[in-house]
Chain A
Amino acid sequence: MNDRDCAYASLIDGDPHDQWAFGTGFEDPLAGVDTTAAPGVDGADLAAYCLMLADDALICAQRLTQWCTNAPELEEEVALANIGLDLLGQARLLLARAAAADPRVVPVLPDGSPVPAEDALAFFRDESAFRCVRLVELANGDFAVSMTRLLAFSTFRLAALHRLSDSRDLVLAAVAAKGAKELAYHRDYAARWFITLAGGTDESRRRLAQAMTTVWPYVDELFRPNPVERRLAAVGAAVDASTLRGEFDSVVAQVFGASGWHPPTVRPAPLVAGKSGRDGVHTEALGYLLAEMQSVARAHPMGRW
């Protein structure tokens, strides 16, 4: 068998890290990239904004990986893990961008700790410092809940990344341009399953209806205006999420239309003293998720992985 007959021959990429089967590139993800903020872009705001985008991806990725060994089929398990990995990759770049924009956001670790800034942000931040929307924290529930959540989240995030690829922050623009291709697949995946479940059996329709009452109350929060986004949007570095509702609604209407359903009218989940995920006020679910995600790293702050 020669090279061109082997679909897997192109795997070998000369990666020097011999502990990995295939190239992983675990060095600084922004090495060689100019991380100076564009003129007029406030570093602290940029860091806060990158944390919002990063935490959405990171927490959603963690939820998706919880399907490993639990998915209905091997192929779906791999698909869910792939989607989680895409989001984890986005989170890593965005956390590194946040640390570069304002090093004060990075938790302080013991002297000599080899933990890189993006890991410190992921594994050593407390719950109230996380800036993700509450939608991504919700327990996975059954497959219908996970697909409904993924549909809402990927539709929202794809709309945001499309717009962000014109950001004046070049790192953000590059991450968004790369991520948009990934999100297009995630949205397609979730929409297909949504339509499949809607057209499936009485049981799948019952579960989907139940999923909607669980997930949809957290959709409004995605589009809540917040001051950090507004300030950055004014200087062309961010996208004001409240301007994305139209695109979200039209995509969702298409998916629901193909399913023969209508978007549910549900009461939005209440805020806590006017605050929600973007302000660091989360649901109970996030604490448990972080405990599981962070415990090993926190037990070994000097650990080398």
Chain B
Amino acid sequence: MTDSLITAFPDAEVGADWPLYEVFVRGKRGLNHVHVGSLHAADEEMALRRARDVYTRRNEGVSIWVVRSSDIVASSPAEKDPFFAPNGDKVYRHPSFYRIPDNVPNM
């Protein structure tokens, strides 16, 4: 390196206390946004731009959502059984006992 870049950031504290954002991308052929990863940013606008730079650079997406990770309410692993186990044996809840007409897309 011929430039003095190494000294440009002597105290690498940048972004250390920036909030975490989760990134959702909708692909060209996709119908819904899919979680692709997370990143740190100072605010929503920066998060959106960083998501564009980091997660759509190979032409993956046509739409991006970002949301503060702390704003996501998630089910806890400890609640897994009461939440999900009761549905495991109720096969009749799957709409698999009738034929979907050909002209109904995206099912």
Is residue B19 contacting chain A, with contact meaning CB distance below 8 A? Answer: no
For A, the interface residue count at a CB cutoff of 8 angstroms equals 31
Q: Which residues of A contact B54 (CB under 8 A)?
A: 74-75, 78-79
Tell me the dominant secondary structure on chain A's binding face: helix
Q: A11-B60, A82-B57, A192-B49 are in contact. Are A66 and B29 (CB under 8 A)?
A: no
Interface residues of A in 140-155 (CB under 8 A from B): 140-143
For B, the interface residue count at a CB cutoff of 8 angstroms equals 36
Judging by beta carbons under 8 Å apart, are A4 and B31 in contact? yes
The chain B residue sitting closest to A75, CB to CB, is B50
Judging by beta carbons under 8 Å apart, are B27 and A6 in contact? yes
Judging by beta carbons under 8 Å apart, are B14 and A10 in contact? no
Is residue B59 contacting chain A, with contact meaning CB distance below 8 A? Answer: yes
The chain B residue sitting closest to A11, CB to CB, is B58
Judging by beta carbons under 8 Å apart, are B6 and A70 in contact? yes
CA distance A66 to B4 in the complex (A): 11
Is residue B66 contacting chain A, with contact meaning CB distance below 8 A? Answer: no
Is residue A202 contacting chain B, with contact meaning CB distance below 8 A? Answer: no
Is residue A223 contacting chain B, with contact meaning CB distance below 8 A? Answer: no
B residues in contact (CB < 8 Å) with A: 1-6, 8-9, 12, 14-15, 25-32, 34, 36, 39-41, 45-46, 49-50, 53-54, 57-61, 106
A residues in contact (CB < 8 Å) with B: 3-11, 22, 66-67, 70, 72-75, 78-79, 82, 139-143, 189, 192, 285, 288-289, 292
